[in-house]
Structure 1
Amino acid sequence: MSGIELVDIPPGRVTLSDRRTQRSWPVEVGPYQLAAVPVTRSQYAQISGCRPDGIREDRLPADSVSWYEAIRFCNALSERSGMTPAYRIGGDDQVDRIAAADGYRLPTEAEWEYACRAGTTGPRYGTLDDIAWYRGNFDDRLPEVGTKQPNAWGLHDMLGTVWEWCWDLYDPDVYGSYRVLRGGGWFDEHWSCRASVRRRSHPTVRLDDIGFRIARSAL
């Protein structure tokens, strides 16, 4: 319906790390599906009825979308597709994930990094200029999705283009409701466009270098 291509991701294991706390932790990842590219403005407008920034370039990523708006998009797409929404949203903006739901959702942080790496162990899954739009090669305008080389699993723009919201809280003891962002964006230097880099932001924030891609559990 929305034209979103999902890629089957096999189960596996990934080790996450945080430079701020010097901590690392392993995570087992089950099978799931992940979109081949970030959600585009055309797809976002079709499902939400809102077009980010009012610009009509349909292959641009849906940027300036908050975490809450990404969550609502996932639920709306699930309902439009006849699936059970993955999130329960309370009146106070409390969001709970429904584990048994078959609908669309944001990837967890572990799922995101595991998929980004696609079996590689270095900071990136390829040469940066070949796989990502970032400050070193963008031409002063938001790049279209899917125009750089994908990783070994067929996923484009996992690094560069736009930062991507993940489901996880960043560090609730220190940062409260701030959520995890991954991947680096079009305005970032090369050191931010690495598989392990973590960023955080408040779930209401909208910035022109933040977007998202969707996932779906293998049930």
Structure 2
Amino acid sequence: MITVPSGHVTLSDRRTERTWTVEVAAYRLAAYPLTQAAYAQLTGTHPGSTQAGQDGGRLPAHSLSWWDAVRYCNALSRQEGLTPAYQLPRTTDMADAGDAEEADVAWDRDADGYRLPTEAEWEHACRAGTTGPRYGPLDDIAWHRGNSRERIHEVAGRRPNPWGLYDMLGNVWEWCWDFYDPAVYGTYRVLRGGGWFDEHWSCRASVRRRSHPTLQIEDVGLRLARTLRP
């Protein structure tokens, strides 16, 4: 994992034409998206296109819901003797959970366990001190529709950003902690980064996408974060 320095980032929403600035404390972020091998090793299940007996190697874990992502964070925290970041509802079958239950996830911000980044943390890390729409030429840094041959690729196959983070753009979208716009979209959560099937305009540091937390989408994965404790 990479230590991301503190700073501030200005986020924007194209739909509402709103901008807002967020102060970001230093934290830890995985150098690349969670791999299928790592997910299968912990959970015993094979995410995305992998089959029984295969681990996916260094391909990103994908087709994971937001609920899958937060459960994985807690499971990995417990395995490593860390305090889980999330307090989840007692309901185990999230396909039957109502929106009120889904919104009732609590994040213990003092916990030292694994978690999802906030979208402000995500964009701050993606930009890595740069100010343009991307941290480098798109074909050099990202797998997108123009160069992916319409398939997922192994992590860390393109050039990292100035802070050593790979695949912040392209390959798979990444779940964030935040609600997208509760007043309009209810419990939908934020996705960031663009994916292997996206046109170039979707692979930019500022682009926001949303999805229902129970949906599993073939170009959506996750990247682990951890809070830095004093």
TM-score by length of 2: 0.91
Give the length in aligned residue pairs: 214
Kindly state the Cα deviation for residue 47 of structure 1 after the two structures are TM-superposed. 1.5
Match of 2:42 among 40, 47, 51: 47
Q: Does 1:164 align with 2:163?
A: no
SS in structure 2 of the partner of residue 129 of structure 1: helix
Structure 1, gaps ≥5 residues long = 1-5
SS in structure 1 of the partner of residue 87 of structure 2: strand
* Deviation per residue, 1:20-45 (Å, 9 max, x gap): 00000000000100000000000011
Q: Which residue of 2 aligns with 1:85?
A: 84
Q: Does 1:201 align with 2:211?
A: yes
1-side partners of 2:110 and 2:192: how far apart?
25
TM-score by length of 1: 0.96
Structure 2, gaps ≥5 residues long = 91-100
1-side partners of 2:119 and 2:76: how far apart?
21
Residue pairs, 1:152-191, within 5 angstroms = 152-191=162-201
Q: What code does the residue aligned with 2:32 have?
A: V
Q: Which residue of 2 aligns with 1:72?
A: 71
CA contact (8 A) 2:150 2:196 kept: no
Match of 1:131 among 105, 124, 141: 141
2-side partners of 1:175 and 1:47: how far apart?
32
Q: What code does the residue aligned with 1:185 have?
A: G
Q: Which residue of 1 aligns with 2:94?
A: none
Q: Does 1:17 align with 2:12?
A: yes
Q: Which residue of 2 aligns with 1:3?
A: none
* Deviation per residue, 1:151-190 (Å, 9 max, x gap): 0000000000000000000000000000000000000000
Match of 1:116 among 123, 126, 131: 126
2-side partners of 1:218 and 1:140: how far apart?
37
2-side partners of 1:33 and 1:42: how far apart?
21
SS in structure 2 of the partner of residue 54 of structure 1: coil
Please provide the CA RMSD for this pair.
0.9
User: Following TM superposition, where does structure 1 have runs of at least 4 consecutive aligned residues deviating by more than 6 angstroms?
Assistant: none
Q: What code does the residue aligned with 2:30 have?
A: A
Q: Which residue of 2 aligns with 1:107?
A: 117
Q: State the percentage of identical aligned residues.
A: 64
> Bigger shift: 120-129 or 138-147?
138-147
> Bigger shift: 87-96 or 200-209?
87-96
> Bigger shift: 135-144 or 185-194?
135-144
Kindly state the Cα deviation for residue 99 of structure 1 after the two structures are TM-superposed. 1.3
Kindly state the Cα deviation for residue 49 of structure 1 after the two structures are TM-superposed. 1.7
1-side partners of 2:71 and 2:154: how far apart?
23
CA contact (8 A) 2:151 2:197 kept: no
